[in-house]
Chains A and B, each alone.
Chain A
Amino acid sequence: GENVEQHPSTLSVQEGDSAVIKCTYSDSASNYFPWYKQELGKRPQLIIDIRSNVGEKKDQRIAVTLNKTAKHFSLHITETQPEDSAVYFCAASIPRAGNMLTFGGGTRLMVKP
């Protein structure tokens, strides 16, 4: 089955700096890669996603890049703010498995004021 690895497990940055979180996946059939933000005690919320036919997608301060050949994708957050502090999860989805998501282990991002 699919396996998703995520790094780093914790990331501390100064407010205004950029943050990058990286994920790798194992199944080349994966075609959808969402990123979720989970604040303490709350539900995961989708912040950005990318399909396998696209190499990069941007939404204001957040961007995601995908390298299908290397089977890795990354989340980039620019001009970080304290409210960006949360746990971020990457995930991958395979068409033959419906929309079952395989999640990475998560990255705890701390933005220091």
Chain B
Amino acid sequence: GAGVSQSPSNKVTEKGKDVELRCDPISGHTALYWYRQRLGQGLEFLIYFQGNSAPDKSGLPSDRFSAERTGESVSTLTIQRTQQEDSAVYLCASSRADVGGRYNEQFFGPGTRLTVL
């Protein structure tokens, strides 16, 4: 079946503008994750959804960042008043339901490359 998809693949914006990044998880995957990868650095965890609730938002770098998820499908990551340090690749991943506490393999999308001028 289809993998995780993200849109847009590339986004160039001016400092101070708001941006929305979209993630479509694999069908049937109830868990969804957002990560950020800045140039030359490792991946940073941002937020995790189980269904449409976000039990952990601790990775969001500031209150300019927010995320929503509709049911067990699409998620949107919104960055308000973008800054140059927000430039990064934003990756989304999904996994199956965490049945009985078992942690499941995460499958990643291709990412959105955000450039803030």
Asked if A and B are interacting partners, one says no
Give the A-binding residues of B (Cβ under 8 A). none
